[in-house]
Structure formats: structure tokens, C-alpha cells
Structure 1
Amino acid sequence: MDVPAAADDDPFEEQRERTANPMRRLFTEYGGEQAGPFSVGVAASVFARLLDLLPPLLLGIAVDAIFLNESEFSLPLVPDAWLPTDTEAQFWLVVGIVLFSFLGGAGLHWVRNWGWNRFAQYVQHAVRTDTYDAMQRLNMTFFADKQTGEMMSVLSNDVNRLERFLNDGLNSAFRLGVMVVGIAALLLWMNWQLALVALLPVPLIAFFTYRFVNTIQPKYAEVRSTVGQVNSRLENNLGGIQVIKTSNTEAYEADRVEDVSGDYFDANWDAIETRIKFFPGLRVLAGIGFALTFTIGGFWVFRGEGPWFFTGTLRPGEFVAFILYSQRFIWPMAQFGQIINMYQRAYASTARVFGLMDEDAGIEERPDAEGLVVDEGRVEYDDVTFGYDDDPILEGVSFTAEGGNTLALVGPTGAGKSTALKLLLRMYDVDSGAVRVDEQDVRDVTLASLRGAIGYVSQETFLFYGTVRENITYGTFDASDEAVVEAAKAAEAHEFITNLPDGYDTMVGERGVKLSGGQRQRLAIARAMLKDPEILILDEATSDVDTETEMLIQRSLDRLTADRTTFVIAHRLSTVKDADRIVVLDDGEVVERGTHEDLLAADGLYANLWGVQAGEIEDLPEEFVERAMRRGARTDGVELRSTESSDDD
């Protein structure tokens, strides 16, 4: 079956088009681990439906043999010698078998539901966790191109749709399959001529179902796309609710939500219109087949002979059973359309799930990768070149941070400072050149050992929803309470934490909304101190706090940077003037390097940046001012492709 065409704006179109046979893959990769519950569900479905077929057959036998006495009492597959000859005993035998079929069917239905639910829930759980794990290992470029709401739509809505199909759809498919095959066999066994009449609608139902599949398939793909757009818009707006309120743009955002919701409405209504036309059509075909069966069979019974070219006899009991089976046969045939409908929706979702799961991670460990061994902590950038797509960010960058020293990266916005250090973390890989730690190329070591040796404190501190303690211990989950307190004290955070309502057990709110910017920053520093990394990266760690808080944080950082290799990115040059070495980047190239005093004496870019912060604007060279104006007016495509707005600061 072909993968359905997607809407032009489907963010996962490329991934989805690469996915071949997603439903087959779903069963081969995930169904095998739950073969037991699946087999139980299938077996219980089969036997439960076979028991459901007994009452109409027994009713027909009872009418002809017991009530009308028009035939001998006999049961299929049961030797006549085993059957009672007394009429009343025959009656009670039929009653007993009917009761057994209902009681046994009820038990088997429970077993069936257990098996299918167990199977569906496990597959849902395994697919969601595997998809999330694959997604979080993708490089940062992927996340720059996708919105959070779009990815949440795959992990939530699409995965849930798989569970609904596996539980309800697949369960119903086996159940109805047994009904259709079993009833068709019984009808042909009871009266093959009348059975052909009852089966007349089947080819037409199959034809219209085929047409329905081809029509609805692309419509569901578009519905899945628009769901992602709605989720993305809502996620963006809820995350930026403060900006919306302060900008007085509630009406504007309401219109934007109405637009994307309208797109979803249009796509979904288009699919619904197709669906609601299809199912009544199936019922009409089924009804025509039932009416023909009843008409011909009715004439056959009360005339005592077959009408037109039909031959043989049809007893009243047989006719009653035949009509009951015909009704049970036609309705499942119509319900197959519902199952096909569920399958198509699940198909579109499965393609998106596996499309995301199969996305190239970009950053892969080499098969022979070994753990990073940090001895001195010496970090070397050797003629490094890197760019997003075809846009160069860094060109021929070379510098070295000696073990235990502090190296500061400074330069104008967009110079490539943050990008350079993300190459050390292997958020990206260099295009040429190498980044080494104690002579070990970072591409030759395991990611876990590399990132485990590096602590990272960013400007935009992220706190998880949870307690203060949980956020400090994030990444060092086995830390003792004493170690947590010591880290907090070293980060100048212990005092404010103890003043919180529940101390270290205080909930910080989503993204740490209950804390101030300085408090969040100090918790991030405490987290890094608890980790005690050999190499530390401080990316604008004090840029968004007031002067007093900056003083407290700087005291924390002085403790944290002691005796470890440290990289500092800063716009406030006063915070890096004591660094052992300062590297100045401009347009992705190293233009100056040295100590604070050396760079001031060189009277170059660093000296001009220092002059700006010292308020000596009138003394700045005209060339420097013009270049700053050009940088400010330029729409930097680099930043649009970076993972954060400050990525290339």
C-alpha cells in the first residue's frame, strides 16, 4: 500500500515519505514481543464468535425437529447415538447448549479483551518510548526546524491512534472475520442456493470499500498534518502568554488560533464527509441483500417449493436460522468499512511515528568509540570549520585552552562563540579540522563520557517541573543530601533555598517560574558544581541578572572554575578580564588572542568592545561603528538555523 500524499505544509512529510510498509513494520518490530497476549486475543476471538454462532442454528433445529416435528433431531458433528430420543430431553439439551454458548462466550470475551488490551497497551508504550528516545538523540538542527507542538502531536496523538487501532480495530477485524467466514460457511451448508442470494452484496461492498480506501488515505494524512499545526500554535501561545498579555495582542492571537483550527476543521470535515457518505452506502447494500434473502426464502417456505429456478425444500426452522445468520452476516460486512477507516487513520499516524524514529541522528558514535579519559583537561581547536547547510559559521578556527585554565570567547553577536563550544559538546560535528581533549578527538569517544566530563551553564537556565532538590541533582541522581547542600552553598543558593516554603522540597513550577532569574541561575550553577566536571562551559551565565545578583553568581563561578578547564562566553567583558586567555571571534574567525592587557594594548576589536562598555563611544573608530551597524541591520540566516536565538552570540 502506498504512503499517502501529504499536505504541502506537513513538517514530517519528508520523514513520512521515507517510511515503507509502516503497519507491517509495526507488527514485525513490536508485535513479536507480545506474541502471547496477541495469540490469546486471536484464539479467544475465534472461539467466542464460534460459540455466538450456535444459538441461531439450535433455534432452527428446535423449530423443525421439536416444535413442528418436520425433521429428525440431530446436531452437527454429534453422533445421533449420543442424542436423547425423548422430545422434552431434546428441548432441555438445546437449552443447555444455548446457555453454555452464552456463558462460555462471556468468559472468552473477557479473555479476548485482556489479550488485545495487553497487546495494544504494550505496543503503544514501546513505540512512544522508542520514538522519544530516538527523537532526543537527534542533533540540534532537527529541533531548530520543528516546533514542539508538532513533535508532541506525533508522540501523543499519533501514538494513541495506534493503540486505538490495535485494540479496537484489530480486535474487531478478527471478530468480524470469524463471523463472516463462519456464517458464510453455515449459510452454504444449510442452503447453498439461498446463500448465493445472501452473498450478492459482497462484491459490491468490496468494490466500494476499495474506492473508499483510495479516497480517504490522503485526507487522513492532511488531518494529521493540521493537528500538528494546531498543537504548535497552542504550545507557542501558552508558552508566550506573558508577552501576549503585555503586548495586548489577545485578539490577534485568537485570530491566529482560529486560522489553524479552521485548517484542521476543513481537513477533518473533508475526511468526515467522505466517511459519512460511505457507511450509509454500505448499509443500503447490506439491506438490499437482506431484503432479497427474506423475499426469496419467504416465498420458498409458504409455497413449499423453490421459486423460479430454485430447487429443493426449505423448512421453517431452516429459514428462521438462515434469516438470523443473514442479518448477522450483512452487518459485519458493513462494519468492515469502519475497520478500514480506523486502519487508514492508523496508517497515516504510523508513517509519521516511524518517519520521526528513522530520522538521521546526525551525531553518531563510531563503533570503536572509547570512553574519554581526562588527564590535564587540555582542549584544542585545530583549524575548525563548520556551517549550517552551505552557510559557514566558523572558518579555520584554532586555539588551545590549557588544563585548569580559563579561556574566554568574546566578540560581536553572530561571531560564532556558542557554536564553537557546542562543537566541543558534539551538539554538532565539525565540517573539517578537529576538536580534541587531551589529544583525543571528540568524534572518537563515546558521547556519554564526553558530555559526562563537561558541565554546561547557559544564559537561558532551564528548570524542570519538580522540586529544588530534583533540579540540582538532575544528571547526578545518586547524590546525597549532604552533597546537594554543599553544592547549593558553593553556588550561593543555600540561603534563599532555606527561605522557600518547603526548602529543598519546594516545587519550582514549570520552567522554574516560581523563582527569579538569579535564583534559577544559581540552581543551575549548583547543578554543575554537584556534577563536578573536569571541563566547564559558562555561556553568558550572568547576562540577565542585576548587578547585586551578578556579584553573588560571580562568587559562585569563581569557586566552580577553580582548578578546572573553563570556557566563558560573555558580552560583559568585565566578567572575563581576569581570564588566563581571551580569544576574540569576528564573523567566524579568530581575529585576536591574548590577555586582557595585551588586547587593550593591541587597540583592536577587543579594545573597541571594551570602549563601548566603558562608555567611550565618541572615541570609537568610524570603521567599527559602521561594521556594528551592518551587523545589526543584517538578518542573520545563521541564527535562524541555530537551536536558540543566542546560539551564535
Structure 2
Amino acid sequence: MVSPADEDDPFEEQRERAENPMRRLFDEYGRENAVAFVVGIVSSVVARALDLLPPVLLAVAVDSIFFDERPFSLWLVPDARLPTTQVEQLYVATGLIALSFVGGAAFHWTRNWGWNSFAQHIQHAVRTDTYDRMQRLNMDFFADKQTGEMMSILSNDVNRLERFLNDGMNSAFRLGVMVIGIAAILLYWNWQLAVVTLTVVPVIGYFTYRFVQTIQPKYADVRSSVGRLNSRLENNLGGIQVIKSSNTETYESDRVDDVSDEYFSANWDAIGTRIKFFPGLRLLSGIGFILTFVLGGVWVLTYQQTGSAPLFFSGGLSPGEFVGFILFTQRFIWPMAQFGQIINMYQRAYASAARIFGLMDEPARIIEDPDADELVVDDGRVVYDDVTFGYDDETIVEDISFTVDGGDTLALVGPTGAGKSTVLKLLLRMYDVDEGSIEIDGTDLRDVTIPSLRRSIGYVSQDTFMFYGTVAENIRYGTFGASHDDVVDAAKAAEAHEFIQNLPEGYDTEIGERGVKLSGGQRQRLSIARAVLRDPEILVLDEATSDVDTETEMLIQRSLDRLTADRTTFSIAHRLSTIKDADEIVVLEDGRIAERGAHEELLGNNDLYAHLWGVQAGEIDELPDEFVERASRRASRAPIEGDADD
């Protein structure tokens, strides 16, 4: 049965692909932390064994010292080495009890160190590996996932693994030692009364099995609803300016309320099952304790009064053994109930591990040849040869062919959705071509390493992203070893130096989340300065002046002219005035090349380029009806892959 959450879980496909996620967690990450794991296990066993010693010594003291029911004896200690007077025997028993507490405290510390070290190191490794894998996935993967959903995996799911590896496994071994050790002691002391005590164990086991079967799909629903809640919150906080300017606070509060209510309902459903399970376990545990207390008490009293055993028992039961049974039964029954908590934590961790490893196993569309060579750009000549690319069954660009000689500038223009950005993202291998090839200086991009390819290309996007940090850190991003003088020179080349000097701390000014303290034009100039600092052999300008005013555009264009003078340059622009001096202009329409040539030549053709120029020149009344109709049809087709098909 598919749960409602599974139907719209963005990671359902990944989660179902993950096989034995918990076993894989230990295979891939547990081995390198084996020392801490062993320390945790050994310390758990020793600490719990020492915890069991006081009740055993108390039972011996009651029978041997206070009631004189049997001779004073201790396991593994020869009788000849034991004292003979009751006072000395009391001191020995007391000393051993004290030593067991001291030793237990020491081993409890090493136990906690072992499990915490084991869990923390795995948490760190899983989180960093998941992030590293995530950031290397194809761009189309991110088009289908929301930031909040991915943050939920990196944060909530990884943290749940840590809690199970630390608290859950720590408790599992601790309680396991307690249950096995106590059961062995009880069976050794009096197997008949031990059978009474252990009667409820199979019932508890079945009860726990039913709980696992019921709770597992409910925890999957909870994990999915958390991802949707995080996504809604992340979207709203990122768009707070739009929300305020649109006066839609109430509307957005209602939307948050809806997804929060989904999480509340899913979580409360799981809680409802959980809060029924644990009291049920305690009730079953209590029944075992009561049976032991009543039947054991009757046995002691009857044997003392008549010298025979009651009911179906045989032999005698001393007061010391009865006291030991009561103490151990309480320690035995409650741990059995706590196993439910461990199973509860395990189910949560399993659901999280499935999402994590499902994401790690997400296949990459772009696969680097293991024998790929480093790209060395000499001339910078770029050739597109019959390039075709699409998402799934939808073709975005088709039969694209052109050549850009080293040092030349090629401009890509066309209506929105024509495929301009996609053409250039293929050059960066954000995607791989479906047909045809792209070559730099005669080398196919698929034959070179991706890092060396992207080091050779400077990319200035229309979406200027700034990281939280200083101005200098954002300019230096990707060229981390650059000196301050180099940063200043790059800023001057991008016409950014003047406004940076006027900031409160100059180049050390914190610009806020996504550069919120800067204007769009200022962020754009920092993005250009970042590309300038890299000094790439090939430059890609994707609407590099889209967020600046006319005056700033003039300043940036002047610096770009200097920057592009000696390097191969690709430029996308809706403002055709910024690319009219390009060596060649390629006009795209519906993913195909409609025209190509120089600016004056294309104007003389009186076709698509000339009409786009006329739109920007304000000559709308002179445009042919056919162009207007085509523009209307294009505007009605909303892109579904973001700017990838621009």
C-alpha cells in the first residue's frame, strides 16, 4: 500500500532504490570507526556486568550474613580466602559493592565516549559525503527538488542517524547485556521461578513486532511532511520582500499552516501509535513483575511454614534469592519495555538512511571518463557540431552548429525560451549533448576532466548569486589564493571599485544573505569582478548587464570590451545594443538557428533579428503581423525548466 505522503514525496524514487540502508551505513562508515565501536561495546558489557554485581552480593549477604541460610561464598573466590566472621563478611560484601560502583562509573564513561565518538564521526562523514554527492548531481535534478527538501536530508535525516547510533545502539547493547545477564542469573538461581518471570517475554516480542509493522510507514510519512514543511518555509523566507510588497502575509500564513498541519497530522498519527505501544509494554512488564512477586512470596512463606513448595514448584526458595529475584526482575522487565524505544529510534533511522543513500545513489547524467585528460586551452577555438539536447522527451536545442575562432566574440540572441542559456551550459558540461559534439581546440569536451574544463571558462550568469560573507570573499570565490591587490584590480575592471570604497567597511563589508545589502547592479558587478579575477581563456556572459541601469551598463560594457579583447567570448543579451559589435551573431528560435551574421547584415535581412531590434527601438507599429503572432505563441509556452531553455 502506498501512503499518501509517498505519492508526492520528492525522494520516493531515491528512497525505494536504497537497499539495506542500515547495513550499508555500517559497511561504508562503521569500519573506519571500528575502534570507538569496540570501545563502546566492551565498555557496555563490563559496565552492565558491574551493575549486576550489587544485587547478587545483596542476595548472598541476606542469606549468609543476616539469615544464616547458607555458607558465605562468592563466585571465582576460593572459600579458604573468605573471612569467617559475619562482620568481616559484611565488610567484604560492602567493599565489593563499592568497587562495582566505582568500576561501573569508569566504564560508563568509556562507554559513552565510545558511542558518542562513533556516532559523531559517522554523522560528520555522512553529512559531508551526502552534500558532496548532491552538489555534483545534474542541474535537472535540482530543477525537480526544492531547497528545503534537500536541507531536510542534510540536517534532519543525518541527525536522526546520529541519535540512533549514539543513544539507540548504546541503549541496545546496554539493555541486551542486562537482559541476557539477568536471565542467566535468574535461571542459575532458580529456573522454576525464572520461567515465571520470563513468561511475558514472548508476548512482549510479538507486541513489539506488531508495533514495527505499524509504525514504519507512518515514519516515512513524517519524513516526507518535514521535507515539504522545510521547503515552504525556505521559499517564503527567501521571498519575504515579494510577500510584503504584495501584502500576502495572511495568504502565506495559511499556506504554512496547511503544510504544518500535514506534518502535525502525520506526526500525531505516529505519536498515537507510539503512546499506545509503550504503556502496553509497561503493562506487560508489570504483569511479569507481579507474577514473580506473588508466586515467589508465596513460595518463601509456604516453605518456611511447611518445609514444602507450593503449587507446581519443587524445592526451596530462600529469602535472599527472593530479594535478588525481585531486584533483578525489576531490572529485567523495564529494559524489555525500553527495547520498544530502541526499535522506535531504529525505524526513524531506517527511514532517514533510505533517503540519504537513495540520494547518494542518484545516477549522474554527466559521467567523467576515468581516462580523461586535463584540458589545455591554446587558441580557444570552440566548435559546435550538430548539437542536439533535450530533457526527457522534450528537445530544447537541435542541430546547433557554429565555430568561434580564438579571441572572437559570438553573441546568442533570440526570444525567451529559444535555448540560448542551454547552448552555453552545454559548453560548461552542466548537461551533456544528446547528439553531436562540442570541441575546444579540437578536443571533445567529453574527453577532458570536468574541473579542468570549468577552470578554463569564466561564467557570468544573469542570476547573480552572492554568498554570505564580505565583498572581497565573494570576488575571490573560486580564486581563493588571490591577493588583495588582485581583488582590487578585478573590481576596478568591473567598475565596482568606486561603490565598494563607499561601503562601511570597504572590501571587508559583510553583504548579507545572498548579497541582500547590495543592489542588483552592484551584485552584478561583483559577479563580473569574480570572473575577471579568474582570468579564464574562455568567457561566457549570460545577460551580464541585465540588472543594471543604462549608465552602469555603459561603464560595465566598457570594462567588458577590455576583458574580452584577447579571449574567446560568448555573450547572451536581450539588449541587442550590447552585442552589436560581436564578430558573429547567432539568432535562435525554438531551439534552432534561425539566422547568423554580423549586426548590419542581419538588419539587412529584415527577419527575426531585425524585428527584435525594431522592438527595442520602439518601432512596434512597423512590425509584421507574422512576427507578432509568433511572439504571442512563444509567450504562451511557459518554460518548465527554469532558465535552462532560455
Q: How does 1:364-379 map onto structure 2 within 5 Å? A: 364-379=367-382
Distance 1:525 1:478 in 2: 18
Task: Please tell me whether residue 108 in structure 1 is matched to residue 107 in structure 2.
Answer: yes
- Alignment partner, residue 245 of structure 1: 244
Tell me if the contact between 2:576 and 2:613 (Cα under 8 Å) persists in the aligned partners.
yes
- Alignment partner, residue 476 of structure 1: 479
Counterpart amino acid of residue 536 in structure 2: P
Residue range with higher mean Cα deviation, 281-290 or 302-311? 302-311
Q: Paired residues, what number?
A: 642
Shift of 1:284: 0.7
Tell me if the contact between 1:299 and 1:306 (Cα under 8 Å) persists in the aligned partners.
no
- Alignment partner, residue 307 of structure 1: 310
**Structure 1 pair 423–523 and aligned structure 2 pair: CA distance change class (3 A):** same
Q: How does 1:479-558 map onto structure 2 within 5 Å? A: 479-558=482-561
Distance 2:275 2:394 in 1: 51
**Structure 1 pair 77–4 and aligned structure 2 pair: CA distance change class (3 A):** farther
Tell me if the contact between 1:380 and 1:399 (Cα under 8 Å) persists in the aligned partners.
yes
Tell me if the contact between 2:524 and 2:547 (Cα under 8 Å) persists in the aligned partners.
no
Q: How does 1:586-597 map onto structure 2 within 5 Å? A: 586-597=589-600
Shift of 1:3: 12
Tell me if the contact between 1:3 and 1:351 (Cα under 8 Å) persists in the aligned partners.
no
Counterpart amino acid of residue 467 in structure 1: T
Counterpart amino acid of residue 145 in structure 2: K
- Alignment partner, residue 173 of structure 2: 174
Counterpart amino acid of residue 647 in structure 1: A
Deviation per residue, 1:299-341 (Å, 9 max, x gap): 1111113211101111101110111001100000000000000
Shift of 1:460: 1.4
Counterpart amino acid of residue 129 in structure 1: T
Shift of 1:108: 0.6
Task: Please tell me whether residue 31 in structure 1 is matched to residue 34 in structure 2.
Answer: no
SS at match of 1:647: helix
Counterpart amino acid of residue 106 in structure 2: G
Tell me if the contact between 1:5 and 1:218 (Cα under 8 Å) persists in the aligned partners.
no
Shift of 1:166: 0.4
Counterpart amino acid of residue 45 in structure 2: V
Distance 1:274 1:574 in 2: 67
- Alignment partner, residue 630 of structure 1: 633
Deviation per residue, 1:533-555 (Å, 9 max, x gap): 00000001112211111112112
Tell me if the contact between 2:425 and 2:431 (Cα under 8 Å) persists in the aligned partners.
yes
Q: Structure 2 stretches of 5 or more lacking a match?
A: none
TM-score between the two structures when normalised by the length of structure 1 = 0.98
Tell me if the contact between 2:3 and 2:221 (Cα under 8 Å) persists in the aligned partners.
no
Shift of 1:6: 5.8
SS at match of 1:330: helix
Distance 1:8 1:14 in 2: 10
- Alignment partner, residue 194 of structure 1: 193
Deviation per residue, 1:454-500 (Å, 9 max, x gap): 00001110000000111011000011111111111111111211111
- Alignment partner, residue 426 of structure 1: 429
Distance 2:473 2:547 in 1: 24
Tell me if the contact between 1:408 and 1:576 (Cα under 8 Å) persists in the aligned partners.
yes
Two-structure CA RMSD over aligned residues (Å): 1.2
Task: Please tell me whether residue 579 in structure 1 is matched to residue 582 in structure 2.
Answer: yes
- Alignment partner, residue 607 of structure 2: 604
Distance 2:41 2:423 in 1: 57
Distance 2:486 2:548 in 1: 26
Shift of 1:556: 2.0
Shift of 1:298: 0.3
Tell me if the contact between 1:377 and 1:402 (Cα under 8 Å) persists in the aligned partners.
yes
Counterpart amino acid of residue 145 in structure 1: D
Q: Structure 1 stretches of 5 or more lacking a match?
A: none
SS at match of 2:396: strand
Counterpart amino acid of residue 333 in structure 1: M
Structure 1 counterpart of 2:644, from 636, 644, 647? 647
Shift of 1:619: 1.5
Distance 2:76 2:562 in 1: 88
Q: How does 1:45-444 map onto structure 2 within 5 Å? A: 45-304=44-303, 305-444=308-447
Tell me if the contact between 2:5 and 2:225 (Cα under 8 Å) persists in the aligned partners.
no
- Alignment partner, residue 563 of structure 2: 560
SS at match of 1:177: helix
Distance 2:9 2:610 in 1: 49
Distance 2:4 2:71 in 1: 61
TM-score between the two structures when normalised by the length of structure 2 = 0.98
Counterpart amino acid of residue 158 in structure 1: D
**Structure 1 pair 234–10 and aligned structure 2 pair: CA distance change class (3 A):** same
Shift of 1:418: 0.2
